[in-house]
């Protein structure tokens, strides 16, 4: 390719200062190649080889030359447009060389990177495109110059280009940032704007507009106002009237008036009037932006925010959308609505303009970091890097925020990369110490203790008096603890504690000392320090961590006691955790160790209680399952619980606590329906019901007892207890019928038979005996027909062997019907044939003979019954014999009657309960002997009966009286007197006693008379 050299410029002795000590010279040349291609080359000649990188940031019209490990410093070098079509100026910023480009299409290459002593940056552009863009940009700058206000603390003079002229210092970093933002905004080309060539004319209106714009840019708003009003008033047909009208708002907004705020209201009025006059103007976004700024100056944030947001709602894309949405976001943040602030910025991502998107990503990174949404913060910064990989220079504040977000989301490599960039690129950054500390922390977290200590050393060396340096020492203490240098770690904590930041860092110091004491095995001291922390900083975000350390210390103490076999002490140390069920922080290992040891201790304590109290052990083991349902000992505990429930049920039965036992057994059956002891509990349930029923039966409470036996009989008929329950129910039925019948409650007797008939029928004899009493109850009640029906029902349920006895019952019913002849006709032949009959049948047969005046037959019936019943029913036998003796005595056959009485008392053997008929028989014998004046026989009979009945019988006094009189009849006063004295002693005020006292007094009187006569 043929080269056409246009110009060559040498910038002699332009010095770049480096730290460490290094120097470089800059040279520049420009070339015009074929096909309208322009090439410009910047050469940096170094004193010695130095590593460098060239980064293409043409998206913001910059090329950045970085020197890792060196900090470059140069005053600003400007190149005139006639000499350079591509490069505008060269400056340094935070240790890097910045090549500022004009707003033209440029391609960049580093062509001599193989030469270690020279850096050459080559830029190429198409002259035709450059000319077109430059013309457009001249017009765009003039129109936007007043729109983005930049206030500098110092003005930047422009030095001549000379090797002997020192270059002045460039703008401050903050001013450079403002310029970069301005450049970003100016790079937006509005395709709808017309050519601005008219402004270059020397017509009065064009000249006035140029002066006005220059005055606005220089802050001379009053002069600018005159220029703009001149156009509007003197040249109303000028094409610049529309622009001048909108620019008036800028002037009014910046011209101070009294009272304060008036200037902003005037500006708003001017802007609104301009929009009214030119509703379709291209300057509408500019006016709305000015209105929003004015309302913001008036502290009317909501209205200002409304206008900022409306700019983004306009139908065409304009250069104010980005600044407007960013301003709206800022206002949302000031109004404490960070979510709305984030949404406002996110709207910028809907546009393709790179400078908007880049600014949005950066703002979103910061906003989400501020809100604690570190995941989103890291995500947006990652998107920024992915979408604009060529743009690697970010503010250190943003890098630090991104690094912290990456750290919080576990992206440690990305976090460390950003932190390293802060340290390398911005070593003088105010928060560089924080970057060192965070880097040391990251390496500590991943186990790179050596690297962590290296960064701590750098931190404490460069920023020894900073709080971050003190925090670095705390991290160093943690590293020492990890290396088991626990004493050294505690010493480091003490060093920080008594340093300048001891009070500020009291929380991490206390937390670290807790760790150190645990490391040394001083668990009680560690717990004390932890309690101190929690009492003072209970609401701290580190409270959970310290509580976890406290748990660890308690666990280790408890573990020591456990290994010493002091289970109770070990348990007591963990009791608060067991009883209160404290939920530990998310510390899986520590939590699990405590739970495991607590579970083991709690289980062993339960086993100890097994020997002491079954109830306490059961409660203990049930509480165990509440706390450790899936623990290692849960299966053993389940077996213990079942054994204890079984044991306690038996203990309650033995203690006659039947209701508790029934409830416990029922609950156990429901709870343990399968597995170990499940069948035992079903049997035990029946057993408890049976024992309750048995207890009630044994105490005569048949009705309540029957309830339990009835349940067994019907619900548990497949168990051995069902048959026993039936037997008890049979006993209950017969007993209840007998009790009611004996007390003449015949209705109840019938009812009880009907209630228990289903059970009684299983025992024929009990069924018959109970049915017999029910039949006789019908007879007593006069329901003879119902009585006969009842007997017929009984016959259906009884075997044929009971036919005769049922006939006896029917005969008893004939007695109730007073059908004596029929009764005799039925029972007489049976008696004659010697067939056994019921006692009642004998009696009603004898009574029927008496009613029919057949006394001899009645006597024979009684005596036959007495003989027939003598062996199996001696009591009824005696009654039959007594009734026969009575009939004999009444018939005047005293000798025969005496013989029967004598036989009755002679055959009687004393039973636990005295048979009254025996006493009656003695009574009759005594009276018969008394009437025959057989005094000695009376004495003998009375002595026999008195030996039989004792002193407490109601007939005792009668027989004593008869005995005394018999002695008196014999003339044996001496024997009569003690008997009378005994009567007086037992019945002092009764009739027997009074008579005995009279007899005794009579004996005494006679004795005194006898003594006087002698």
Instruction: Report whether pLDDT(161) > 70.
Output: no
Instruction: Report whether pLDDT(405) > 90.
Output: yes
**Separation between Cα atoms, residue 827 and residue 179, nearest integer Å:** 142
Tokens of 844: 């009603």
**Separation between Cα atoms, residue 84 and residue 40, nearest integer Å:** 8
pLDDT over 90 percentage in the chain? 28
Q: What is the pLDDT of residue 268?
A: 94
For the segment 517-539, the average pLDDT, to the nearest whole number, is: 88
- Among the residue ranges 43-47, 253-257, 765-769, the one predicted with the least confidence is 43-47
Instruction: Report whether pLDDT(804) > 70.
Output: yes
Nearest to 381 by CA among 400, 402, 409, 396: 402
Pairing of strands 118-126, 37-46: antiparallel
Q: What is the pLDDT of residue 339?
A: 93
Where on the phi/psi map is residue 950: left (φ > 0), alpha (ψ -120 to 50), or beta?
Answer: left
What does the CA dihedral 224, 226, 228, 234 come to, rounded to 10 degrees? -160
Taking only the tens place, the pLDDT of each residue in 894-911 is: 899 999 999 988 888 766
**Separation between Cα atoms, residue 138 and residue 78, nearest integer Å:** 18
pLDDT over 70 percentage in the chain? 85
Instruction: Report whether pLDDT(153) > 50.
Output: no
Taking only the tens place, the pLDDT of each residue in 626-645 is: 878 887 888 888 888 888 88
**Are residues 983 and 996 in contact, defined by beta-carbon separation less than 8 angstroms?**
yes
Instruction: Report whether pLDDT(746) > 50.
Output: yes
Q: What is the pLDDT of residue 712?
A: 80
Instruction: Identify the helix (H) or strand (E) that includes residue 104.
Output: none
- For residue 84, name the pLDDT band (cuts at 50, 70, 90): confident
Instruction: Report whether pLDDT(615) > 60.
Output: yes
**Separation between Cα atoms, residue 858 and residue 869, nearest integer Å:** 16
Taking only the tens place, the pLDDT of each residue in 8-23 is: 444 433 556 666 655 6
Other CB atoms closer than 10 Å to residue 688's CB: what's the count? 24
Name the more confident of 476 and 620: 476
Q: What is the pLDDT of residue 272?
A: 93
Instruction: Report whether pLDDT(152) > 80.
Output: no
Instruction: Report whether pLDDT(186) > 50.
Output: no
Instruction: Report whether pLDDT(254) > 80.
Output: yes
Taking only the tens place, the pLDDT of each residue in 816-831 is: 778 889 889 888 998 8
Tokens of 366: 């910061």
Other CB atoms closer than 10 Å to residue 773's CB: what's the count? 22
Taking only the tens place, the pLDDT of each residue in 334-362 is: 999 999 999 989 888 888 788 888 888 99
Q: What is the pLDDT of residue 372?
A: 92
Angle at 925 between CA 920 and CA 926, to 5 degrees: 95
Taking only the tens place, the pLDDT of each residue in 493-504 is: 999 989 899 899
For the segment 106-135, the average pLDDT, to the nearest whole number, is: 69
Tokens of 363: 């703002």
Pairing of strands 107-110, 87-93: unpaired
Q: What is the pLDDT of residue 164?
A: 29
Tokens of 599: 């579970």
- What is residue 20's DSSP assignment? T
3-state secondary structure at position 724: helix
Other CB atoms closer than 10 Å to residue 51's CB: what's the count? 10
Pairing of strands 71-73, 62-66: unpaired
3-state secondary structure at position 619: helix
Taking only the tens place, the pLDDT of each residue in 870-897 is: 888 898 999 999 999 999 999 999 899 9
Instruction: Report whether pLDDT(364) > 80.
Output: yes
Taking only the tens place, the pLDDT of each residue in 283-293 is: 999 999 999 99
Q: What is the pLDDT of residue 509?
A: 92
Name the more confident of 271 and 1006: 271
* 988 phi and psi angles, rounded to 5 deg: -65, -35
- Among the residue ranges 10-19, 439-448, 658-667, the one predicted with the least confidence is 10-19
Structurally, at CATH architecture level, domain 352-358+365-425 sits in Alpha Horseshoe (1.25)
Instruction: Report whether pLDDT(192) > 70.
Output: no
Nearest to 364 by CA among 375, 123, 585, 961: 375
* 716 phi and psi angles, rounded to 5 deg: -135, 50
Domain ranges of the chain: 14-145, 352-358+365-425, 430-503, 522-612, 636-705, 719-804, 818-907
Q: What is the mean pLDDT of the chain?
A: 81
Q: How far apart are the first and last CA of the chain?
A: 196
Name the more confident of 507 and 138: 507
For the segment 163-180, the average pLDDT, to the nearest whole number, is: 34
**Separation between Cα atoms, residue 809 and residue 816, nearest integer Å:** 11
Taking only the tens place, the pLDDT of each residue in 578-591 is: 565 455 555 666 66
Tokens of 438: 């965070």
């Amino acid at each position: 390719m043929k080269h056409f050299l246009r110009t060559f410029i040498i910038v002699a002795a332009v010095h770049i200062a480096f730290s460490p000590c290094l120097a470089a010279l800059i040279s520049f040349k420009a070339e015009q190649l074929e096909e309208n291609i322009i090439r410009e080359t910047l050469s940096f000649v170094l004193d010695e080889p130095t590593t460098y990188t060239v980064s293409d940031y043409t998206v913001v019209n910059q090329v950045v030359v970085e020197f890792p490990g060196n900090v470059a410093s140069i005053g600003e070098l400007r190149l005139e447009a006639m000499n350079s079509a591509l490069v505008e100026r060269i400056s340094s910023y935070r240790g890097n060389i910045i090549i500022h480009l004009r707003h033209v299409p440029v391609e960049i290459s580093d062509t001599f990177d193989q030469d270690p002593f020279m850096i050459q940056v080559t830029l190429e552009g198409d002259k035709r495109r450059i000319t077109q863009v430059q013309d457009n940009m001249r017009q765009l700058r003039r129109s936007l110059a007043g729109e983005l206000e930049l206030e500098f603390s110092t003005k930047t003079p422009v030095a001549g280009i000379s090797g002997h002229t020192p270059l002045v210092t460039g703008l401050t970093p903050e001013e450079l940032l403002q310029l970069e933002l301005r450049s970003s905004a100016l790079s937006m080309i509005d395709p709808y704007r017309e050519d601005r060539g008219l402004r270059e004319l020397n017509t009065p209106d064009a000249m006035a507009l140029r002066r006005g714009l220059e005055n606005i840019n220089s802050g001379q708003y009053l002069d600018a106002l005159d220029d703009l009003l001149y156009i509007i008033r003197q040249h109303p047909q000028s094409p610049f009237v529309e622009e001048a009208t909108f620019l008036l708002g800028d002037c009014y907004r910046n011209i101070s008036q009294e009272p304060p705020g008036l200037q902003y209201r005037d500006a708003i009025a001017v802007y609104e009037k301009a929009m009214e006059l030119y509703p379709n103007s291209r300057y509408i976004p500019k006016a709305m932006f000015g209105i929003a700024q004015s309302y913001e100056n008036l502290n009317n944030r909501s209205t200002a925010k409304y206008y900022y947001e409306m700019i983004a709602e306009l139908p065409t894309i304009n250069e104010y959308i980005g600044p407007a949405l960013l301003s709206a976001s800022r206002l949302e943040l000031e109004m404490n609505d960070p979510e709305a602030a984030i949404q406002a910025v996110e709207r910028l991502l809907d546009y393709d303009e790179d400078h908007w998107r880049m600014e949005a990503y950066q703002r979103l990174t910061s906003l989400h970091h501020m809100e604690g949404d570190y995941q989103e913060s890291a995500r947006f910064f990652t998107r920024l890097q992915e979408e604009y990989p060529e743009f690697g220079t970010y503010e250190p504040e943003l890098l630090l925020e991104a690094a912290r977000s990456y750290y919080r989301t576990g992206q440690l490599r990305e976090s460390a990369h950003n932190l390293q960039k802060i340290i390398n690129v911005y070593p003088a950054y105010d928060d560089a110490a924080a970057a060192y500390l965070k880097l040391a922390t990251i390496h500590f977290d991943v186990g790179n203790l050596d690297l962590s200590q290296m960064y701590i050393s750098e931190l404490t060396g460069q920023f020894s008096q900073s709080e971050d340096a003190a925090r670095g020492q705390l991290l160093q203490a943690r590293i020492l603890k990890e290396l088991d240098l626990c004493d050294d770690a505690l010493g480091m904590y003490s060093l920080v504690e008594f340093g300048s930041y001891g009070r500020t860092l009291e929380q991490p110091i206390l937390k670290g000392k807790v760790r150190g004491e645990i490391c040394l095995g001083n668990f009680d001291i560690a717990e004390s320090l932890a309690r101190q922390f929690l009492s003072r900083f209970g609401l701290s975000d580190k409270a959970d961590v310290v509580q976890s350390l406290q748990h660890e210390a308690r666990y280790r103490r408890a573990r020591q006691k456990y290994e010493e076999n002091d289970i109770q002490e070990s348990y007591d140390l963990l009791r608060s955790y067991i009883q209160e069920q404290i939920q530990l922080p998310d510390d899986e290992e520590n939590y699990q160790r405590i739970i495991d040891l607590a579970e083991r201790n709690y289980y062993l304590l339960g086993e100890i209680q097994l020997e002491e109290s079954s109830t306490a052990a059961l409660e203990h083991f049930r509480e165990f399952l509440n706390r450790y349902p899936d623990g290692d000992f849960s299966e053993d505990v389940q077996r213990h619980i079942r054994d204890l429930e079984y044991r306690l049920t038996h203990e309650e039965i033995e203690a006659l606590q039947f209701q508790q036992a029934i409830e416990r057994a029922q609950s156990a059956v429901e709870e343990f329906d399968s597995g170990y002891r499940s069948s035992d509990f079903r049997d035990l349930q029946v057993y408890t019901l049976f024992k309750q029923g048995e207890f009630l039966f044994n105490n005569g409470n048949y009705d309540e007892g029957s309830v339990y036996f009835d349940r067994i009989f019907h619900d548990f008929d497949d168990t051995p207890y069902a048959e026993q329950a039936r037997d008890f129910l049979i006993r209950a039925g017969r007993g209840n019928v007998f009790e009611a019948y004996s007390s003449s409650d015949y209705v109840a007797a019938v009812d009880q038979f009907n209630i228990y008939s289903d059970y009684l029928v299983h025992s024929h004899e009990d069924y018959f005996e109970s049915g017999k009493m029910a039949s006789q109850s019908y007879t007593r009640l006069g329901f003879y027909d119902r009585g006969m029906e009842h007997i017929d029902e009984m016959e259906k349920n009884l075997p044929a062997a009971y036919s005769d006895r049922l006939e006896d019952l029917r005969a008893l019913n004939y007695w109730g019907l007073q059908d004596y002849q029929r009764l005799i006709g039925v029972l007489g032949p049976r008696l004659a044939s010697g067939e056994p009959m019921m006692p009642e049948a004998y009696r009603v047969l004898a009574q029927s003979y008496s009613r029919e005046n057949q006394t001899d037959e009645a006597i024979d019936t009684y005596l036959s019954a007495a003989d027939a019943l003598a062996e199996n029913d001696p009591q009824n036998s005696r009654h039959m014999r007594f009734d026969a003796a009575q009939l004999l005595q009444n018939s005047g056959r005293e000798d025969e009657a005496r013989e029967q009485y004598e036989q009755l008392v002679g055959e009687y053997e004393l039973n636990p309960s005295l048979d009254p008929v025996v006493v009656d028989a003695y009574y009759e014998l005594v009276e018969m002997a008394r009437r025959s004046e057989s005094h000695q026989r009376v004495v003998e009979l009375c002595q026999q009966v008195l030996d039989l009945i004792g002193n407490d019988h109601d007939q005792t006094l009668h027989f004593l009286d008869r005995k005394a009189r018999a002695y008196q009849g014999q003339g044996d006063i001496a024997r009569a007197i003690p008997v009378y004295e005994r009567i007086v002693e037992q019945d002092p005020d009764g009739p027997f006693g009074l008579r005995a006292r009279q007899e005794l007094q009579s004996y005494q009187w006679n004795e005194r008379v006898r003594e006087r006569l002698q």
